[in-house]
Amino acid sequence: MVRITVPRTVAAATAVVSPVLVLASLVISARVPDAWRPPMRLTPDVAAGLTFPAVGAFLVFHRPRLVMAWLMCAGGLAGGVSQFCGMLMFHLASQGDLVIAGYLRYPFVTLWAVCGVSLAMMLPLLSPNGRLPSRRWWPVAAFGLAAISVETARQIVRPTPNPSYLPVPIPNPLAIEGLRPYNDLIYTIAWTGIIGSVVLALLSLAVRFRHSDSEVRRQIAWPLLAFTGYVLFLLAGDDMSSLATGWAALVPIAIAFSVTRYRLYGIDTIVSRAFVAAGVLAVVSGVYFGISALSSLVVSQRDQVAGLVAALFAGAFFQPLRRTLQRLVDHMMYGRVGDPRLLAERLTQEVRRADPAKALSSIVTVLRDGLAVEGTAVEVVDGKPRYVESGDVGEDPRQIPLVWHGETVGRLLIGRPGARRFAAAHDERVLSTLVPYAADVAHAVRMAADLQRSRERILSAREEERRRLRRDLHDGLGQTLSSMAMTINMARSSLKSSPDSADTLLRDLRTGMDAVSGDIRELVYGLRPPALDDLGLASALRALAAEGPPPTTVEVTGTLDDLPAAVEVAVYRIVQEALTNVRRHAHASSAYIALDRGAEALRVRIGDDGTGLPDRPRAGVGLTSMRERAAELGGNCGAVSAPGGGTVVEAVLPL
């Protein structure tokens, strides 16, 4: 809860009193006869009295010691009182009270000066932190104060106008008639100094903007834009006074955004969209007036024809026109590096030239340049996390998930805005354009990593298989053959001297040969099941299905006659492993094997009606072996729980 203090009470009072005085002045102005009404009823003082005190009070409630807040309150109140005194002066003069009206000129002029010094000179000099950019800007403040003091003094002692635009001149009790020959010269000198000081105050904001980091630039951009618009309308003369008044009402709002560091809206977003909207409006208006001029020479009812053509043009070309203007504005504000389309083209070229691992570096580099941030990074979610960073993302970066076809494959980390210009407000357009590329590359990195791991496992399994074959051949078959060779030599030696002993040795040799034949058959079966050559794949699978419970059906769609040998072995081993798991763990009453031969792939499904997968399944040796066999051929294999219960193992092998 905000504690009410004397400063806050004073600020709240100015926020109430000043707008009331301005509204009262407008009411009084409406009652002044046309002959006595001033040429301009809506002046920047009206906007100052209505908006500055309210915003200043808001800032005082949040930051009671902020000098800028008190300047806004004081300057706005001075503008409101000045406007009230001025309108009351004209009203009294129209009623014949010329003497009182003449005295009201003094608070009117003096408070106008206070309003001008506070809001048009000191406020931009002190924005956005309440301090001058440096001590070198004090002469600018002194110069502005001197110029407006000269004009105020001239107004106080100026000779009574003769002639006057009013029916009767309002007398000036303090007039110095001897200054009449110099009045215009003093006016010119004073207003030249006033306009010059206002422009220099605006220049101080531009200097701050140029020498600040991106965060402060974004903060300064609000008052810089607001004061720039006001000064441009002010320099345009009295014809633009209404626009200057309206724009002046935006200045305190811009300062509030700046002081409070309000981040919801980006100033460059507003500028960008304003330019795009103005461009679309200008083109459509040009079409309208062009068709109006052309149709006036050809047909009647030109307004209807022009309106119809403009409407058709806007409907047909609005989106292409808007996109074109948006690209032009982006290029104007951010340069080539900020154009999402050019960034996408650059990224596409770099990704094509690099492998997935290096493409991640391209992603983070292009994103860092396009977003004008201090650093970007991509972290790929994988068994072994991969992290690639460009620059420094800091301790609390913005995190954007990278999603590939509904699967989160990583995350993008974005650091603080960099020093070049101010942070791009079209970041969301850049991100929406480039994040899909980042997701694709992150997915490719995962796939490459998976493939590399699969290759490593396959090579490891192959080496292990070779080691097993060498061990079996050396320790089993080799030892047996060596023993048989020794038996043959012993039989030959004892054949003449001891036929019975030789016969016994030959019978042992025969037994050994049977063992060798069994070892060879087992070794051959481990390399390629003989059933594939003897029966074919379909019949071999039916033989596997018939080996034991549960009852298993085999369904084959398409021909399996010309399958590659490696595919046949992989299918056989996958089905064999899957049936082993069914018989050991599923507790199923039935199972099925389904093979579907397509034009480009063979789909294998092994399902059962058993207990299904556990809530937290863990890939065992069997499932890993099936996946590796499928991956070795460029396919994939996985196990899921069936909707009606049980488990389904599905493998897709390319042909």
CATH of 536-654, one of 3.40.605.10, 2.120.10.30, 3.20.20.120, 3.30.565.10: 3.30.565.10
pLDDT of residue 651: 93
pLDDT of residue 263: 39
Q: Where in the chain is the domain with CATH 3.30.565.10?
A: 536-654
Q: Where in the chain is the domain with CATH 1.20.5?
A: 456-527
Q: What are the tokens at 565? A: 């040998």
Judge contact between 322 and 280, C-beta under 8 A. yes
Q: Rounded CA gap, 54 and 34, in Å?
A: 32
pLDDT of residue 280: 62
Judge contact between 277 and 270, C-beta under 8 A. no
Q: Which fold has domain 456-527?
A: 1.20.5
For the range 235-243, what are the long-range contacts, defined as Cβ-Cβ under 8 Å and sequence gap of 24 or more? 235/195, 238/39, 238/40, 241/40, 241/42, 241/43, 241/44, 242/42
Q: What are the tokens at 281? A: 């409006």
The model carries a pTM of 0.48
Helix (H, G, I), strand (E, B) or coil at 641: strand
- Give pLDDT tens digits for 35-57: 887 766 677 888 888 888 888 88
pLDDT of residue 147: 92
Residues with Cβ within 8 Å of 124's Cβ and at least 6 positions away in sequence, in order, are 201, 202, 204, 205, 223, 227
Which amino acid is it at 102?
Answer: G
Q: Rounded CA gap, 259 and 426, in Å?
A: 23
Q: Where in the chain is the domain with CATH 3.30.450.40?
A: 338-451
pLDDT of residue 143: 92
**Phi and psi of 613, rounded to 5°?**
-80, 150
Query: 331: exposed, middle or buried (C-beta count within 10 Å: 0-12, 13-18, 19+)?
Result: middle
Q: From the first residue on, what is the mean pLDDT of each consecutive set of 10 residues in the chain (655 residues)?
A: 70 88 87 79 81 86 82 90 91 89 91 89 84 87 92 89 77 87 90 91 86 72 82 78 79 76 46 59 60 53 53 60 68 59 75 69 78 81 72 82 82 73 57 80 78 72 70 66 74 74 75 72 68 86 88 90 85 90 88 91 92 73 82 86 88 89
pLDDT of residue 232: 85
Cα radius of gyration rounded to whole Å, the chain: 45
Distances (CA, A) of 635 to 446, 518, 654: 16, 34, 6
pLDDT of residue 5: 76
pLDDT of residue 444: 80
How many Cβ atoms sit within 10 Å of the Cβ of residue 369?
A: 19
Q: What are the tokens at 437? A: 């590329």
Q: What are the tokens at 164? A: 């006057």
Q: What is the CATH number of domain 338-451?
A: 3.30.450.40
